[in-house]
Amino acid sequence: MQKKLVKKFEIAPEVLAQAVSQAMGGAVPLDVGKLYEESVKDFKENTVVTGKILKILNNEVLVDVGYKSEGVVPAYEFGEDAIIEPGQEIEVLIEEIENTTGFLVLSKRKADRIRGWEKVISTHAEGDVVKGTVVRKIKGGLLVDIGVPVFLPASQVSLRRTGDIADFIGKEIECKIIKIDESRMNIVVSRRKLIEEQREKLRTDLLATLKEGQTRHGVVKNIADFGAFVDLGGIDGLLHITDMTWGRISHPSELLAIDQEIDVMVLKFDKERNRIALGMKQLQESPWASVDAKYPVGSAHVGEVVNLMPYGAFVKLEDGIEGLVHISEMSWTRRVNHPSEIVQPGDRVEVKVLDINREKQEISLGMKQCEVNPWTTVEERYPVGTVIEGTVRNLTNYGAFIEIEEGIDGLLHVSDMSWTKKIGHPNEMLKKGDTVQSVVLSVDREKKRVALGLKQLEPDPWKDEIPRKYGVGDVVAGQVMKIANFGVFVALEDGLEGLLHISELSRSKVSAAEDVVKAGQKVNVRILKVDIDERKIGLSMIGVEQPPREEALAGVVESAPPDASPAAEVPPAGEAGAAPAESTQSPGAAVE
């Protein structure tokens, strides 16, 4: 069948030759070879040529560049959103004349880069400003498309190091060309250098017009613990944390954020060092301007405890207005060692204004003044003579503090513990925590003192009992309790002693009392004097019959050396019993 078709359409050789000649413009067969050679002689590798799209085959685009065979361009080189249609003319780079399949290997991307490079080189030089879009992040910086990809080092992206330079991807930026390497077709640009130059111009203009007191618009560029740096347009100023608000903040980030635009006032401008101090709170009226009218002395207010110090608590009355409640102004009665015993940060408390110093921006506040002072009524509640019952809160050398009620203590002095007994220390009568009854002796509301007495619960024996029981000239029995340089103390009964002066031990001169009596020895003595006002009894052994020696020494203990303390000095004659009729010293009776 096929042979018949071939034979049917077979063309005579001379007819075919004539048709070819007409198609070739009358050229003879030898001329055809020459024309072919001339048509392909300009096609060399790494040259850019113009071609026409023939068709799209899967992921490749077939392009006719006038060569004996078509070329192939990867479809991805056209871009994701590109419209590829047969008949379009494009420029391509010949990478390889013929590959293993016989096609030209072409690249549209490289051709575009070469043409872009030629355009950039012909229109720009080092130092020119260009605009482009950040394409992607690469090692060491960013790739920016300005017609051709150029390199923007990370150190040249901004004036200060940013968190992640990838944030610039997709953004259009302006840069300055700082290096062109034609041999490697490489361009390096700097955004930082351009910003520095722009800032320098702005800085020069700003410094020429900047004055203290001006209000300026700026951008927060950096935040530190102590404040924020604000770009005023070419130069930065410091906005200290204390100048951000009239209120209290712990960190500038509570009010500001990086790149936030704010208005500030120029507080101070040092032209020599180009330092600028800025303020935000100064744009508003200080709350201290009307503090006297809003918080007059004596007025009561409710505030919030914002800070505690060992000496007191700071209470916020409003933003920018804080007052100090000193530790001494927290309670009428409690002994406050630290403010935390009374208040904690965040507590709402009622306070009264005690004093205002507007120049120093200080307000003294009191908490206890908002309550009734219990000392104002203590005289009415505990009049002199009242018998109270309290707890021994503390002991000192001179007495015991008795808690009458919470915060109000009374002092029970050692001299008010016993009518007759000599008390060296309160612990001889009381111990901490004891519950005791006592009598109110006096109340001093101004000094906040209450004097108490224990002995006053009983009648004073010196007023009746002792004078009645011990008359001058009476001979009584006693026991030597203590031997001093100037004499001997003799116990007449429990809590009552008399002084047997050394001159009253014997008619003969006595150099040391121990030569005559021993501590613990029983003796008989005569009453020489009973001084009710001084509460003293003077004694004498002269002319008094003593008990048998064995009986007298039955309670003798080893004698201690004579008391050499100042209190044991020999009393002067006429007062301590130097003469027989005046021997009346009795420390057991003199309790003060």
Q: How many CB atoms lie within 10 A of CB 339?
A: 23
55 closest CA partner among 39, 40, 75: 75
At residue 187, the 3 state secondary structure works out as strand
pLDDT of residue 146: 84
Task: State residue 26's pLDDT score.
Answer: 56
Query: Can you give the pLDDT at residue 577?
Result: 35
3-state class of 378 per DSSP?
A: helix
Determine the pLDDT at residue 111.
Answer: 86
Distance of CA 475 to the CA centre of its chain: 80
Give the dihedral sign, CA 373/376/381/384. Answer: positive
DSSP letter string over 523-556?
A: EEEEEEEEETTTTEEEEE-TT-PPPPHHHHTTT-
CA distance 448 to 409: 9
Report the pLDDT value the prediction gives residue 585, as an integer from 0 to 100: 35
Question: What does the pLDDT read at residue 584?
Answer: 34
Per-residue pLDDT at 332: 83
CA-closest candidate to residue 542, choices 555, 553, 528 = 528
CB 190 within 8 A of CB 176: yes
Question: What is the model's pLDDT at position 558?
Answer: 59
Tokens of 181: 């390497």
Q: CB under 8 Å to 331, separation ≥6 — which residues?
A: 342, 367, 368, 407
CB-based contact 567:510 (threshold 8 Å)? no
Domains of the chain, earliest start first: 1-32 (no CATH), 42-111 (2.40.50.140), 124-194 (2.40.50.140), 210-283 (2.40.50.140), 287-370 (2.40.50.140), 374-457 (2.40.50.140), 465-582 (2.40.50.140)
Distance in angstroms (rounded) separating the CA atoms of residues 91 and 72: 13
DSSP 8-state secondary structure symbol assigned to residue 574? T
C-alpha distance across the termini of the chain, in Å: 157
Model-level pTM?
A: 0.43
| Alpha-carbon separation of residue 175 from 11, 132, 392, 487 (angstroms) | 71, 8, 85, 111
Using DSSP's 3-state secondary structure scheme, residue 356 falls into strand
Residues ≥6 apart with Cβ < 8 Å to 392 = 400, 401, 402, 430, 431, 432, 433, 434, 435, 436
Residues 314 and 306: beta-carbon distance below 8 Å: yes
Give the chain's residues under pLDDT 50: 1-9, 30, 41, 559-560, 562-592
Q: Measured between alpha carbons, how far is 542 from 503 in angstroms, rounded to an integer? A: 9
Round to whole Å and give the CA distance between 20 and 12: 13
